[in-house]
Amino acid sequence: MAKIKTTSESIEVMKTYKLFIGGAFPRTESGRFYPLRNSSDKLIANVCLSSRKDFRNAVVAARKAQGGWGAKSAYNRSQIIYRIAEMLQQKKELFVKEMKELGYTDKRAQQEFSASVDYLVHYAGWCDKYVQVFSSVNPVASSHFNFSVPEPTGVVAAFASNKSALLGFLEAFIPAICGGNTTIVLASEELPTCAITMAEVLATSDVPGGTVNVLTGNRTELLDHFASHMDVNAFVIWDAESADSIAIGQYASENVKRIKFYKSEASAVESPQRIMDLQEIKTTWHPVESISGAGSGY
Amino acid sequence: MAKTKKEISWDLSPAPESTGHATIDKRYDLFIDGKFVPPSTKKYFKTINPATEESLSEIALAGEKDVDKAVKAARKAYDTTWSKISAAERGKYIYRIARLIQERAREFAVIESLDGGKPIRESRDVDVPLAAAHFFYHAGWADKLDYAFANSSPTSIGVVGQIIPWNFPLLMAAWKLAPALACGNTVVLKPAETTSLTALKLAELIRDAGLPDGVVNIITGAGETGKALVNHDDVDKIAFTGSTEVGKMIRRSLAGTSTRLTLELGGKAANIVFEDAAIDQAVEGIVNGIYFNQGHVCCAGSRLFVEENVANEVIRKLKHRMNQLIVGDPMDKNTDVGAINSKGQLHTIEKYLKAGEKDGFEMYQSQVAVPKKGYWCRPTLFTNVSQSSVISKEEIFGPVLAMQTFRTIDEVIDKANNTPYGLSAGVWTDKGSKIFNLTSRLKAGIVWANTFNKFDPTSPFGGYKESGFGREGGIHGLSAYLNLQG
């Protein structure tokens, strides 16, 4: 084996944390940033301070991707979300290191990482099951075949919780994409780096570009844009300030946007209800022929 | 020899339903805490027969104080009786309501047609039997909710405020009350101001059924009364059916509160006819889709899309069929299209007819005679309308159909989905795989394939997008009236 020349004081290459829109990693169009520092004031990263325009671009990407993602077979979506878990699992060291930079203890970082992988595996399994659990064939009194199935609401915008770096980020959009929606997620302002690294995981997990779009920046600044955008069908807000909930409700009424407020708990909620929160029930009717019906039960 | 040619009339003879059996009081008070009580406003408003413009009765106008009284009665009933009795007993009360409606079906049908203007055949065959069916279906759910929502420990919400429209007065009351009661909630219901009568008759019936006082309260009035109910801070949930505009206002005024909300709002449904459809049946479906109940239907098939090569045939047959529709006396059993519900609504419809003509679209109205008195609109068809015109974008809520043609499936799906609404849609084709392609890609809560405007208590109803959120009917409708864990 050829000998590789190294210097003992090799300078570490630092990563530029960028946004994730339409499967690409652009910087914010605004050129703005905010410095993220650790507890000893060392710069971790200059994080993109996303603008309204970035959000609008992300909505365009999400809308474009929705038809394809929503039309994938449930089995395929299930495998892709399982693939995310596989890709995440092998990057354990990286994520634990990033969480520790953000102030996590080693133990807490390890725990959150494992919980995040488990969370993905749990929801991967729901993709091809929730439709069965929540569908119905309805025994109407007329001569019709009638059934109801859940379908994706469409484009879902989300504010991830500020309380955790990785698991909170996943909770903001995994139930949405399990259900065939596409999403735009604003990562935690204080803990954004894991979200961007997670976007790199998504980019290599067969998740089609535009299915998940990740922005970093400031909630207050983007709140009215997230809540009022006319081509966003639902808005998920984790750990909202109560004052924000009034503004969100008012803006969201403009296009009868579905809004869901969630509070983060000690451990992630694993429930198909979170998928169903971002679904619409569609009921289909078709006549059943009833000419010359044979009377026998055979 | 001169022969006198005798004219033979093929018109149907009048077949009026007798109104003698229905009793309408001169004046109706508010139904609060099990009793009819006069309103604090001391005001009453007239309710008229839109087919004759004659006054039928006077209805109490509920003010804020009355709304408060009704909510308090509902709260007391929730705390002291309705949440205490067993679910099975709750169900038995609701079964009683269903049976009493069936017993008094004829009376309800007559009053519904007198007060709202809809043909008696429709009140008799659709509205009233379906209202009874809704109570009957939901009654049975009361003690079976744990099976409907596994691992979710369903519990009642509390006091529910419900606001309903004038197009299906009794049926909407049933859609709202039956699931709310079955799920263990108490209710304050406000009917629309032009059609309060059957809701008040229902109040009498609920009293006869022996429901504990305050479980159902019915207060009458217009927008201000509804507003007071929405903004009352002891109401746990609001369920509203009506216009998208008002729905958005309600959403706005509840922003930041913990009050739960479901909205069933407007629509502008696409009804799509392919060349391989059974054309005669499709024409029947088009007629039923838009002229049923004078087009006062949120899920009406008001946008017709016809595949280009059968467009002329469809138009010809449709015009022929439109001319067979009898417009007139709602009490006549032969009537197909009754009276427009109110003067205000007639003005709205006429405004759209003018807008359509002004945009230069070809307007066809059926050549039938309409009575001189009352509010009437002949079945109307606009052909060659553009996708961006007012009449193909906005909900008219009248017997007005806007037709476009199409060439490809992708084109028609794009056009059909290109609307902020998403309540219903219709597809007419003989090809099964095409049906499922369409029904899975149309963004609408109800898709009727080779049929239209069918309703059933077991079948969830409600829209996508700006047509609202939440469902009514079926297992999915129950969740609108329950708190679920997880």
Smallest Cβ–Cβ distance between A138 and the set B133, B449, B459 belongs to: B459
Mean pLDDT score of chain A = 95
Here the tokens at position B433 are 């795989």
* Residue A175 pLDDT: 98
Q: How confident is the model at residue A247 (pLDDT cuts 50, 70, 90)?
A: very high
Range list of β-strands (E), chain A = 33-37, 43-48, 136-137, 144-152, 155-159, 182-186, 212-215, 234-238, 258-262, 279-287
The per-residue pLDDT for range B376-424, each reduced to its tens digit, is: 999 999 999 999 999 999 999 999 999 999 999 999 999 999 999 999 9
B377 is catalytic: no
pLDDT mean over B148-155? 94
Smallest Cβ–Cβ distance between B133 and the set A141, A282, A287 belongs to: A141
Smallest Cβ–Cβ distance between A138 and the set B422, B444, B474 belongs to: B474
Q: Are B139 and B95 in contact (CB under 8 A)?
A: yes
Interface A-B, measured as beta-carbon pairs within 8 A, has a size of 114
pLDDT mean over B330-351? 97
Quote the minimal CA–CA distance from A86 to chain B in Å: 27
Question: CB distance A139–B458 less than 8 Å?
Answer: yes
Quote the minimal CA–CA distance from B113 to chain A in Å: 24
Instruction: Check the CA dihedral A125-A128-A131-A136 and report its sign.
Output: negative
pLDDT mean over B184-207? 98
In a domain, A293, yes or no: no
* Residue B188 pLDDT: 98
* Residue A291 pLDDT: 63
- CATH number reported for the structural domain that contains residue A113 in this entry: 3.40.605.10
Quick check: B2 pLDDT over 60?
no
Stretch 419-438 of chain B: residues touching chain A, C-beta under 8 Å: 420, 422, 435
The 10 Å Cβ neighbour count of residue A221 is 14
Over pLDDT 70: what percentage of chain B? 99
Q: What is the DSSP string of B469-483?
A: ES-BSHHHHHGGGEE
Identify how many contiguous H helices and E strands chain A contains and give both numbers.
Answer: 11, 10
Stretch 120-139 of chain B: residues touching chain A, C-beta under 8 Å: 133
Alpha helix segments (H runs only) across B16-63: none
> Which residue type, as a one-letter code, is found at position B282?
A
Q: How confident is the model at residue A1 (pLDDT cuts 50, 70, 90)?
A: low
Q: What is the DSSP string of B365-414?
A: E------SSS-----EEEES--TTSHHHHS---SSEEEEEEESSHHHHHH
Smallest Cβ–Cβ distance between B247 and the set A248, A256, A280 belongs to: A256
The per-residue pLDDT for range B429-444, each reduced to its tens digit, is: 999 999 999 999 999 9
Angle at B292 between CA B287 and CA B294, to 5 degrees: 110
The per-residue pLDDT for range B38-49, each reduced to its tens digit, is: 999 999 999 999
The per-residue pLDDT for range A248-260, each reduced to its tens digit, is: 999 999 999 999 9
Smallest Cβ–Cβ distance between A138 and the set B265, B449, B458 belongs to: B458
Here the tokens at position B145 are 């909710």
Contacts of B263 in chain A (CB under 8 A): 256
- Looking up tokens 């239907």 gives B297
- Report the chain B residue with the minimal C-alpha distance to residue A258: B469
The per-residue pLDDT for range A182-218, each reduced to its tens digit, is: 999 999 999 999 999 999 999 999 999 999 999 999 9
Query: Lowest mean pLDDT: which of A285-294, B264-273, B321-330?
Result: A285-294
Contacts of B476 in chain A (CB under 8 A): 134, 136, 148, 281
Q: How confident is the model at residue A241 (pLDDT cuts 50, 70, 90)?
A: confident
CATH T-level topology, domain B27-265+465-483 = Aldehyde Dehydrogenase; Chain A, domain 1 (3.40.605)
Quote the minimal CA–CA distance from A287 to chain B in Å: 7
Collapsing DSSP to helix, strand or coil, B348 comes out as helix
In a domain, A108, yes or no: yes
Cα(B209)–Cα(B367) distance, integer angstroms: 47
- Report the chain A residue with the minimal C-alpha distance to residue B474: A138
Cα(B277)–Cα(B284) distance, integer angstroms: 12
* Residue B233 pLDDT: 96
Question: CB distance A280–B474 less than 8 Å?
Answer: no
Pairing of strands A33-37, A212-215: unpaired
The DSSP element (H or E) to which B121 belongs, if any, is helix B120-122
Pairing of strands B44-49, B54-60: antiparallel
A-interface mutation test, from B230, B251, B482, most A Cβ less than 10 A away: B251
Quick check: A170 pLDDT over 90?
yes
> Which residue type, as a one-letter code, is found at position A279?
Q
Cα(B447)–Cα(A144) distance, integer angstroms: 13
Cα(A96)–Cα(A119) distance, integer angstroms: 17
The per-residue pLDDT for range A144-159, each reduced to its tens digit, is: 999 999 999 999 999 9
Instruction: Report how many domains make up chain A.
Output: 1
Quote the minimal CA–CA distance from B463 to chain A in Å: 8
Quote the minimal CA–CA distance from B10 to chain A in Å: 31
Q: Are A264 and A171 in contact (CB under 8 A)?
A: yes
Quote the minimal CA–CA distance from B153 to chain A in Å: 13
pLDDT mean over A284-292? 85
Quote the minimal CA–CA distance from A281 to chain B in Å: 6
Contacts of A138 in chain B (CB under 8 A): 456, 458-460, 474
- With DSSP H G I counted as helix, E B as strand and the rest as coil, what are the percentages for chain A, rounded to 5? 40, 20, 40
The complex scores an ipTM of: 0.95
Q: Where are the domains of chain B?
A: 27-265+465-483, 270-449
The per-residue pLDDT for range B158-186, each reduced to its tens digit, is: 999 999 999 999 999 999 999 999 999 99
Does B252 reach chain A within 8 Å, measured CB to CB?
yes
Among the listed residues B298, B299, B394, B472, the single catalytic one is B298
Cα(B203)–Cα(B181) distance, integer angstroms: 14
Residues of B284-302 as b/e, b for ≥16 C-beta within 10 angstroms? bbbbbbbbbbbbbbbbbbb
Instruction: Return the bridge partners of A206, or none.
Output: none
Cα(A94)–Cα(A34) distance, integer angstroms: 22
Does A137 reach chain B within 8 Å, measured CB to CB?
no
Does B92 reach chain A within 8 Å, measured CB to CB?
no
Quick check: A295 pLDDT over 70?
no
Exposed, middle or buried: residue B472 (CB in 10 Å: 0-12, 13-18, 19+)? buried
* Residue A8 pLDDT: 65
Question: CB distance A255–B474 less than 8 Å?
Answer: no
Question: CB distance B247–A248 less than 8 Å?
Answer: no
* Upper half-sphere CA count for residue A210 (Cβ side, 13 Å): 17
* Residue A151 pLDDT: 98
The alpha-carbon radius of gyration of chain A (Å, integer) is 22
> Which residue type, as a one-letter code, is found at position B453?
N
Quote the minimal CA–CA distance from B455 to chain A in Å: 8
Q: Which residues contact B147 (CB under 8 A, 6 or more apart)?
A: none
Quick check: B291 pLDDT over 60?
yes
Contacts of B448 in chain A (CB under 8 A): 284-285
- Report the chain A residue with the minimal C-alpha distance to residue B436: A284
Question: CB distance A247–B255 less than 8 Å?
Answer: yes
Does B255 reach chain A within 8 Å, measured CB to CB?
yes
Question: CB distance B251–A249 less than 8 Å?
Answer: yes
Going by C-alpha positions, the residue among B245, B265, B298, B268 that lies closest to residue B393 is: B268
Q: How confident is the model at residue A6 (pLDDT cuts 50, 70, 90)?
A: low
Does B454 reach chain A within 8 Å, measured CB to CB?
yes
Contacts of B447 in chain A (CB under 8 A): 282-285
Contacts of B465 in chain A (CB under 8 A): 233, 255-256
B223-230 vs B244-253: helix axis angle to the nearest 10?
30
Cα(B464)–Cα(B390) distance, integer angstroms: 21
Quick check: B1 pLDDT over 70?
no
Name the CA dihedral angle for A132, B433, A62, A26, rounded to a multiple of 10 degrees. Answer: 120
Going by C-alpha positions, the residue among B186, B391, B175 that lies closest to residue B264 is: B175
In a domain, A33, yes or no: no
Which domain does A193 fall in, by range? 52-138+149-279
Collapsing DSSP to helix, strand or coil, A35 comes out as strand
Residues of A176-187 as b/e, b for ≥16 C-beta within 10 angstroms? bbbbbbbbbbbb
> Which residue type, as a one-letter code, is found at position B123?
S
Does B272 reach chain A within 8 Å, measured CB to CB?
no
Q: Are A76 and A222 in contact (CB under 8 A)?
A: no
Among the listed residues B122, B264, B395, B466, the single catalytic one is B264
* Residue A226 pLDDT: 98
A-interface mutation test, from B464, B466, B478, most A Cβ less than 10 A away: B464
Q: Are A272 and B449 in contact (CB under 8 A)?
A: no
B264 is catalytic: yes
pLDDT mean over B72-92? 98
CATH T-level topology, domain B270-449 = Aldehyde Dehydrogenase; Chain A, domain 2 (3.40.309)
pLDDT mean over A109-134? 98
* Residue A265 pLDDT: 87
pLDDT mean over A108-137? 98
Instruction: Check the CA dihedral B412-B414-B420-B421 and report its sign.
Output: positive
Pairing of strands A155-159, A182-186: parallel
Q: How far is CA B6 from the centre of its chain?
A: 46
The per-residue pLDDT for range B85-125, each reduced to its tens digit, is: 999 999 999 999 999 999 999 999 999 999 999 999 999 99
